[in-house]
Amino acid sequence: MNVQWKLAARYLWGRKLRTILTTLAVVFGVTIIFGMNAILPTFLQAFTSTMQSGAGQVDLNIQTASNAPFPESVVDQVKATEGVAVVDGSLQRAVILPDSMTPTNNKLTSAGNIIVAGVNPATVQQLRQYLVADGNFIQEGETGVAVISQTFAESLQKKLGDSLTLPSAAGTMEFRITGLLTTFPGPNPEVVYIPLTDAQTLFNMPGQVNLVEGTIKTDAVLEDVVANLRTSLGDGININVQESGTELFAAIEVGKSAFYIFGILALVMGAFVIYNTFRTVVVERRHDIGMLRALGASRGTVRNLFLIETLIQGIGGSVLGILCGYLLAVAFTLMISTFGQQLLHIDVGAPVVELSNLLISMFIGVGFTVASGLLPAMAASRVAPLEALRPAPALAQKRIMSRRAIGGLILLGLGLAGLLTRQLNLASLGLVLFIIGLILCSPILVQPLGHVFSGLLNQFFKREGRLAEGNLTRNPGRAAITASAVMIGLMIALAMSGMITSVFGGFFKYMDKSLGADYLFMPSSLLLSGGNVAVSPELAKKVAEVPGVGTLSTLRFTTTKTVVGDTQLLGIDPITFPEISGLEFSRGDEAEAYRKLAEGRAIIVNGIFASQRKVAIGDVITLESPRGPLDYTVAGVGLDYLNAKLATGYISQANLSQDFNVNNDVLIMANLAEGADSIATRDNLQQMVRDYPALTFFESEVFRKSQTDLLDQAMVMFYFILAALVIPGLIAMINTLAINVIERTREIGVLRAVGATRQQVGRMVLAESLLLSAFGILLGIVTGLLMGAVLVAAMNTTGFKLPYYFPWTGILVTIIIGLVFGILAAIIPARQASRMEIIQALHYE
């Protein structure tokens, strides 16, 4: 009906400030939901394109455990296996370009190290699409040609048709550049594609390949094909199914849910605001309602009038929220792109506007708004025409001990019980019940808490304190709802800051332990190091000889399969490793564990491994090696910063060499010798490492700083979200205070008439505001502490041993934020109250 829309629009326009406040609450919630979920797909897209450009369509990835070559006949064997579709065999090795060819690089990348891939052009292009920007890919039968990426060509200052010299087993070989590829952003080093036969000559491995990739037929079952391959190829060959990166995918999915939850919480607070506002609006407009009913408007018409008002605010708020969300996403992308670039070498593009995200955000935003206005709208429709025409309504005092409160008490009890069981699942459920119960009970808490706080309040507000207290307790429902909104915001802020402290604290502890060395030689892309990037033990020997270098220890790396699936295997020197670095042991004695490693086939597993498979000291686990399955005894469970995300085992380098044929180092750690000159030593090391560009040289101080800088950047993101969650609480407070003032206009007029000064009236409002925020602070701290404890416990189940730090600073900050809000929220309403003209106020109906 036209008139309802007209009325709704006019009413909203007539109360601009309040309309803006209530709409803002909705805007916040939708901004978070839409904005955050616009960023994640971007991240995901960038990541996926990286993975795809690397992996193409490949299902199977077959190598030996040590990347050693095997005869080409293996390719035919794989092709003959049932279920296999396309197969390609290639020879790929890391090659270090001599200094003369090394393009300029900075400290965190090392482009002087490249991969030379000898490929069979016919089959490899069936597996992957190589996007040629200029020229052609290798043609069948061609020799002496190379295909490189555009950026690599630029950095070498070469063009199509130029020659490229590569170091070979016999000296050098020259290739003509016949194709330039579009560069995909990726964490991998540059790849130079040459024909397979040429590669076999280059590396002096005639008739051999070291990587077989393939796809399976559409009707084949992957597990079966893998089983068939194992049968025909025997042990000693690693058959990998393409699934790396799933871990990051999973993390991103969790991120998505987390953001939805945050957004919904913000909307819940918005819903509180709207509910409060509309309840008051209904009371204020009772004359108009009665008039409309007297004139013959039906109940439905009146109800719909209010619903339309909420609908308009919902739509307006959601649209604005989507716009702000988009802007927020753009801002974030700019901020994170440095983060993404440095750590993951991923180029994060512009935020993606997914239709589903848009629709869901609108739906949730509008839905929440209208739902929160529903109860007041129904109440409005039930106002009898006559009742509305009376000059002053008798405000019915809600019975304090209502069913709602009793239900709330029950939930509180259940919640506490759940929390006390100390079992994670029950405790989480208990937390949720506790919070809901608290919100339901809060109206009964208003009066007693009001007394408690007013004692404190009266110290500062000697004359106005009593009035303020009375004002709040007169409408406990409204006070409680406002305090609940504040509570939610503060609770999350406290819990998150507590968790962040724990996470930081935990990580830094590991980092200190793991990176205790003064100098580090690390592969450039830490997280996605694929294992083909290693240096011969010569470098470690050379480093040890540099004057000024004291203790030295290295890490070696391979992958294996164990009972938990793909496992990283790190080779350490049980004697030097604990001197320089070390693991944080959660089970087993440290000295004992290292000793066992030196003595025989013993292994220390990390937290992720242990969380996937409970192990005790002395258990035997089987590792798959080129020599077949081997038994290793568990000597301990230890955690290490660098390998915190994947299942990992640590064995001695002697065993790694003997059983897995791995002799190259992936990480070198060295300490400054006592009394040595750090600057001279550093210079010497930098000089020497130029010939080994596979690893980058770091002073660990510098590295640690770069890591903390990156983490700080990530933290800014969190603080943003925290702020966004806490602010709706502020809006809720301003809203309530404004309503209170307007409702008590006549009363304020009377106060002024009997002699209260403007300042006193203002102070009364301020006192009320501080009472409200005190209420919210108390509730927020209680729930925030509980939530924080539950969160840390949850993190601990993932295998991270996170320390729990009682958030003293967090509590202090919460109190300060709450009080600041109390003051900020009071500013406008207090001014309104103090500025009222006495006569007008007295005549206000």
Q: How far is CA 270 from each of CA 229, 234, 368, 742, rounded to the nearest angstrom?
A: 58, 63, 8, 21
Q: Rule CB under 8 A: say whether 6 interacts with other proteins.
A: yes
| Shortest Cβ 396–other proteins spacing (Å) | 17
Among 127, 292, 467, 583, interactor with other proteins by CB under 8 A: 292
| Shortest Cβ 290–other proteins spacing (Å) | 8
**Which residues in the 171-190 window bind other proteins by CB under 8 A?**
none
| Shortest Cβ 255–other proteins spacing (Å) | 46
Residue 831 has which token pair? 């001014």
Residue 62 has which token pair? 């077959």
What is the distance between the alpha carbons of residues 175 and 192, in angstroms, rounded to a whole number?
10
| Shortest Cβ 298–other proteins spacing (Å) | 5
Among 3, 169, 359, 753, interactor with other proteins by CB under 8 A: 3
**Which residues in the 651-710 window bind other proteins by CB under 8 A?**
none
| Shortest Cβ 299–other proteins spacing (Å) | 7
Q: Rule CB under 8 A: say whether 380 interacts with other proteins.
A: no
Pairing of strands 602-605, 628-639: parallel
Of 216, 221, 209, 106, give the one whose Cα is nearest residue 155: 106
Q: Rule CB under 8 A: say whether 299 interacts with other proteins.
A: yes
Q: How far is CA 674 from each of CA 145, 541, 551, 626, 671, rounded to the nearest angstrom?
A: 53, 19, 10, 42, 9
Among 80, 122, 169, 386, interactor with other proteins by CB under 8 A: 386
Question: Which one, 384 or 591, has the nearer CB to other proteins?
Answer: 384
| Shortest Cβ 251–other proteins spacing (Å) | 52
Neighbours of 540 (CB within 10 A): 21
Q: Rule CB under 8 A: say whether 288 interacts with other proteins.
A: yes
Beta bridge partners of 549: 672
What is the distance between the alpha carbons of residues 561 and 559, in angstroms, rounded to a whole number?
7
Find out whether 248 and 107 touch, Cβ atoms under 8 Å: no
Question: Which one, 170 or 295, has the nearer CB to other proteins?
Answer: 295
Beta strands in 457-537 (DSSP E): 519-523
Q: Rule CB under 8 A: say whether 385 interacts with other proteins.
A: yes
Question: Which one, 280 or 560, has the nearer CB to other proteins?
Answer: 280
List b or e across 438-467, with b for residues whose CB sees 16 or more CB atoms inside 10 angstroms: bbbbbbbbbeebbeebbeebbeebeebbeb
What is the distance between the alpha carbons of residues 24 and 26, in angstroms, rounded to a whole number?
5
Residue 189 has which token pair? 């080093």
Q: Rule CB under 8 A: say whether 290 interacts with other proteins.
A: yes
Q: Rule CB under 8 A: say whether 839 interacts with other proteins.
A: no
Among 180, 297, 496, 637, interactor with other proteins by CB under 8 A: 297
> Judged by CB under 8 A, how many residues of this single chain contact other proteins?
28
Residue 181 has which token pair? 């590829």
List b or e across 625-644, with b for residues whose CB sees 16 or more CB atoms inside 10 angstroms: bbeeebebebbbbbbbbbbb
What is the distance between the alpha carbons of residues 641 and 83, in angstroms, rounded to a whole number?
41
What is the distance between the alpha carbons of residues 685 and 766, in angstroms, rounded to a whole number?
65
Question: Which one, 10 or 399, has the nearer CB to other proteins?
Answer: 10
* Span from 125-133, 157-165, 282-290, 458-466 in contact with other proteins (CB under 8 A): 282-290
Q: Rule CB under 8 A: say whether 293 interacts with other proteins.
A: yes
* Span from 173-181, 220-228, 283-291, 579-587 in contact with other proteins (CB under 8 A): 283-291
Q: Rule CB under 8 A: say whether 10 interacts with other proteins.
A: yes
Residue with tokens 């509910």: 275
Neighbours of 94 (CB within 10 A): 18
Question: Which one, 119 or 292, has the nearer CB to other proteins?
Answer: 292
For residue 406, the Cα-to-chain-centroid distance in whole angstroms is: 39
Question: Which one, 300 or 629, has the nearer CB to other proteins?
Answer: 300
φ, ψ (nearest 5 deg) of residue 164: -125, 125
- Kind plus residue range of the DSSP H or E element containing 622: strand 620-625
Q: Rule CB under 8 A: say whether 291 interacts with other proteins.
A: yes
Question: Which one, 309 or 659, has the nearer CB to other proteins?
Answer: 309
Q: At what angle do helices 758-797 and 465-474 cross, to 10 degrees?
A: 60
Question: Which one, 6 or 462, has the nearer CB to other proteins?
Answer: 6
Question: Which one, 18 or 556, has the nearer CB to other proteins?
Answer: 18
| Shortest Cβ 404–other proteins spacing (Å) | 28
Contacts with 33 (C-beta within 8 Å, 6 or more apart), sequence order? 259, 260, 263, 264, 267, 321, 325, 360, 361, 364, 365
Residue 102 has which token pair? 């090394």
Question: Which one, 287 or 466, has the nearer CB to other proteins?
Answer: 287
What value, to the nearest 5°, has the Cα angle with vertex 509 and ends 503 and 513? 145
* Span from 188-196, 350-358, 386-394, 698-706 in contact with other proteins (CB under 8 A): 386-394
Question: Which one, 293 or 752, has the nearer CB to other proteins?
Answer: 293
Residue 123 has which token pair? 């089959």
Beta strands in 301-378 (DSSP E): none
Find out whether 416 and 430 touch, Cβ atoms under 8 Å: yes
φ, ψ (nearest 5 deg) of residue 708: -65, -35
Question: Which one, 161 or 296, has the nearer CB to other proteins?
Answer: 296
| Shortest Cβ 9–other proteins spacing (Å) | 9
Q: Rule CB under 8 A: say whether 278 interacts with other proteins.
A: no
* Span from 117-125, 181-189, 291-299, 331-339 in contact with other proteins (CB under 8 A): 291-299
Question: Which one, 299 or 690, has the nearer CB to other proteins?
Answer: 299
Question: Which one, 291 or 429, has the nearer CB to other proteins?
Answer: 291
* Span from 80-88, 255-263, 286-294, 699-707 in contact with other proteins (CB under 8 A): 286-294
Among 141, 161, 171, 296, interactor with other proteins by CB under 8 A: 296
Question: Which one, 13 or 808, has the nearer CB to other proteins?
Answer: 13
Q: Rule CB under 8 A: say whether 230 interacts with other proteins.
A: no
Find out whether 479 and 472 touch, Cβ atoms under 8 Å: yes
Among 17, 250, 258, 294, interactor with other proteins by CB under 8 A: 294
Question: Which one, 390 or 451, has the nearer CB to other proteins?
Answer: 390
Question: Which one, 297 or 724, has the nearer CB to other proteins?
Answer: 297
Among 14, 161, 171, 675, interactor with other proteins by CB under 8 A: 14
| Shortest Cβ 318–other proteins spacing (Å) | 24
| Shortest Cβ 288–other proteins spacing (Å) | 5
* Span from 10-18, 104-112, 448-456, 791-799 in contact with other proteins (CB under 8 A): 10-18
- Kind plus residue range of the DSSP H or E element containing 599: helix 590-599
Among 169, 389, 598, 723, interactor with other proteins by CB under 8 A: 389
Pairing of strands 648-652, 565-572: parallel
What is the distance between the alpha carbons of residues 315 and 309, in angstroms, rounded to a whole number?
10
Q: Rule CB under 8 A: say whether 16 interacts with other proteins.
A: no
Return the C-alpha torsion angle 17, 263, 476, 445, nearest 10.
-150
Contacts with 481 (C-beta within 8 Å, 6 or more apart), sequence order? 272, 275, 276, 442, 732, 736
Question: Which one, 347 or 387, has the nearer CB to other proteins?
Answer: 387
Among 52, 129, 298, 423, interactor with other proteins by CB under 8 A: 298
Q: Rule CB under 8 A: say whether 301 interacts with other proteins.
A: yes
Interface positions with other proteins (CB under 8 A): 1-3, 6-7, 10-11, 13-14, 287-288, 290-299, 301, 384-386, 389, 391, 845
